[in-house]
Structure 1
């Protein structure tokens, strides 16, 4: 294993990004993903049920997702700094980062678009924006998976992983 790939496996700051082998970023990304998927479901539900509570809940879920995304981005950015520049992993990380910033901006626009709307249904425009944002989120998630599972960013080294496959004594 090269020193360059080994550097991307270890945290810049274990206190901020999680200890070696237990990064915080994958845990934190579940907050925006879950909130934004649930928001989209509530948007669709508001079309079927004409329910103002679904509109309000959807908007709150978008805001919760934004806050969660900012927390995930903070630790993800620190993990990104550990990836050596000029590598395929770094280029993948740059695309992942740009996509995620774009998605968060789209959800901020979406939340502002809904602000002050007193309706029993979410308008079609914000629903379309949510759908496009979720599609982009899936692409970004794929790239995040590639960083971890293909390039091993913040994944324990194979020698450390081997203990999980030792037979019990």
Structure 2
């Protein structure tokens, strides 16, 4: 294993970003992903039910929870990015992953303020707000694919095979 590969497996600040072989970023991203997916489900529901205000308001707060969770995950993800040697394919993939996530978070921030203008939702979520959320979720899916490529293909912050082999000893 090259020294560059080994460097990408080690945490920059293990107390914050997680110890060797157990990064915190992948666990933290479940908060914004779950909140934003649920917000879209609530958005769609608000267009179907007779009393949409409850679901529209819930979606607005799920968007906010997702944004807050994304900011925490971004800080930890940045520390993981700093562990990857610059100039590598893995680093460039990490930059695209980060850029997409920042754009997605910005879209949901815009969506939150759009929803909360005028005192919050008064009825069903507008088609424009729903489309914005769907486009942001699609971009999040692409970004998630790239995050998976970083971990599963390039092994960023994943324990090396020698460490992994200890789990298969009798």
Is TM (by shorter chain) over 0.5? yes
Q: What residue is the counterpart of 1:123 in the other structure? A: 126
Q: What residue is the counterpart of 2:155 in the other structure? A: 152
Moved over 2 A (4+): none
Deviation at 1:119, TM superposition (A): 1.8
Query: What secondary structure does 1:48 align onto?
Result: coil
**Residues 1-169 of structure 1: pairs in structure 2 closer than 5 A:** 1-49=1-49, 50-115=51-116, 116-166=119-169, 168=170
Give the TM-score, by structure 2 length: 0.96
Pairs aligned (count): 167
Write the distance in 2 (CA, Å) between the matches of 1:27 and 1:70: 14
Deviation at 1:117, TM superposition (A): 3.6
Deviation at 1:111, TM superposition (A): 0.3
Write the distance in 1 (CA, Å) between the matches of 2:18 and 2:121: 42
Deviation at 1:18, TM superposition (A): 0.5
Query: What secondary structure does 1:8 align onto?
Result: helix
Q: Deviations over 1:104-149 (max 9, x none)?
A: 0000000011012442200110100000000000000000000000
Q: 1:83 to 1:114 in 2, by over 3 A?
A: same
Write the distance in 2 (CA, Å) between the matches of 1:86 and 1:61: 37
Work out whether residues 63 and 112 of structure 2, in 8 Å CA contact, stay in contact via their aligned partners in 1. Answer: yes
